[in-house]
Amino acid sequence: MRPIALAVVIALCAGCFGYNKGAKRWAYVGDTVLILGGGGAIAADFATKPAPCTGEMCPRYTSPIGGALVVGAVLVVAGLFGIVVNATRDEVKTSR
């Protein structure tokens, strides 16, 4: 869970929206990392899911949705949102 949290913090600190051609390229890289990290979190959640309990000593209810699944979904949505914003955002002309 720590690597996922680190990826979220880095992505949010760096920003995912570009304002010129070079910044947009790196923003697309950041958005792609978010999507891949989210997919990895979702895959890890499914891979480590325990077998369903089928005895009398089972708890009453266990949620099929784990924390890593939620974090992965948020990362994927954030990456997709960043790509859409970058694709539709106008470039800012800066002069030096």
Is 14's pLDDT higher than 80? Answer: no
Q: What does the pLDDT read at residue 71?
A: 87
Is 39's pLDDT higher than 90? Answer: yes
List, for residues 15-38, the tens digit of each pLDDT value: 456 677 777 888 888 889 889 999
Residue 95 lies in a domain: no
Domain range holding 44? 2-49+65-88
Residue 57 lies in a domain: no
Q: Write down how long the chain is.
A: 96
> How many domains does the chain fold into?
1
Say how far apart CA 33 and CA 53 lie, in whole Å. Answer: 36
List, for residues 64-91, the tens digit of each pLDDT value: 888 888 889 988 988 888 888 888 877 7
The DSSP H or E segment spanning 25 is helix 21-47
Residue 12 lies in a domain: yes
Among residues 95, 93, 96, 92, the alpha carbon closest in space to that of 17 is found at 92
pTM of whole model > 0.75?
no
Residue 30 lies in a domain: yes
